[in-house]
């Protein structure tokens, strides 16, 4: 587990996605070691989300904590399962040259960035859980943290795919001798291939975001509503975006 967290640190520092590390068309992330780390980080964030139930419910509060700890990792793993085939096809169309396993490792690395951010936001979420009784506010603060973490994780994925697209075609602006560590968020000029690659992968990023939002809606509730009985899942009704708008209008 310690080696897996060390690998996560390498991902966050950009060592895994430097130009030299990507030239052989592989991603230096151990899938088997990262999934437990992602699960653990998701459980940490879930526990912090469930803290609202501990502070504001008189019964079954611990069930909400357990439920959130299970659902947060499931949210990301199920979204990965649903969206991976489309990303692999997009990758083949653009010509990044990644096979299925390296592509899966790259997505896991992007999820690692997202989950690390969510775990780091956990203490902030827990603080507001114990300092406010507003359910709408807690829903929105979690939407914001997930939006920020998800956007940065997808940005990491997009930047890495752009580098791979540039490397896969000779003379597209990357020096053969370049071996320095490149920030995972630093943009890359991919020459003639850059524009279509960015368009294709940005379309997939939108697809991933929509699937993730709807998956969260299917798996709800994550936060223990003080006015509702505990349940593992709620009936299908409304939509994620309509619910967010309802909470915004209720709060303000």
- The answer to whether 211 and 44 have CB atoms below 8 angstroms apart is no
Q: Which domain holds residue 210?
A: 2-251
- The answer to whether 95 and 168 have CB atoms below 8 angstroms apart is yes
Number of domains in the chain: 1
pLDDT the model gives residue 171: 39
**If residue 25 lies in a helix (H) or strand (E), which one and from where to where?**
none
Cis amide bond preceding 221, omega within 30:
yes
pLDDT the model gives residue 180: 43
pLDDT the model gives residue 178: 41
pLDDT the model gives residue 93: 76
pLDDT the model gives residue 188: 44
pLDDT in tens, 167-204: 655 433 434 334 444 455 555 444 434 566 667 777 88
Below-70 pLDDT ranges, the chain: 19-21, 23-26, 58, 94-98, 165-198
Give the ranges where 191-232 is alpha helix by DSSP (H). Answer: 194-219
């Amino acid at each position: 587990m310690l080696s897996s967290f060390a690998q996560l640190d390498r991902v966050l520092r950009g060592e895994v996605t430097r130009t030299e590390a990507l030239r052989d068309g592989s991603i230096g992330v151990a899938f088997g070691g990262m999934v437990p780390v992602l699960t653990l980080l998701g459980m940490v964030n879930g526990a912090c989300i469930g803290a609202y139930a501990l502070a504001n419910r008189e019964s079954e509060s611990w069930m909400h904590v357990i439920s959130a700890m299970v659902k947060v990792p499931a949210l990301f793993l199920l979204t990965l399962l649903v969206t991976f085939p489309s990303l692999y096809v997009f990758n083949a169309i653009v010509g990044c040259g990644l096979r299925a396993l390296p592509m899966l490792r790259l997505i896991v690395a992007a999820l690692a960035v997202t989950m690390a951010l969510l775990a780091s936001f956990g203490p902030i979420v827990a603080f507001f859980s114990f300092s406010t009784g507003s359910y709408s506010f807690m829903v929105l603060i979690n939407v914001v943290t997930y939006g920020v973490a998800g956007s940065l994780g997808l940005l990491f994925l997009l930047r890495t795919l752009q580098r791979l697209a540039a490397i896969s075609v000779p003379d597209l602006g990357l020096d053969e001798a370049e071996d320095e560590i490149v920030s995972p968020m630093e943009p890359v000029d991919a020459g003639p291939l850059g524009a279509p690659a960015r368009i294709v992968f940005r379309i997939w990023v939108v697809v991933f975001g929509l699937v993730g939002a709807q998956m969260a809606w299917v798996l709800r509730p994550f936060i223990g509503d003080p006015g509702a009985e505990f349940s593992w899942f709620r009936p299908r009704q409304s939509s994620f975006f309509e619910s967010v708008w309802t909470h915004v209008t209720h709060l303000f």
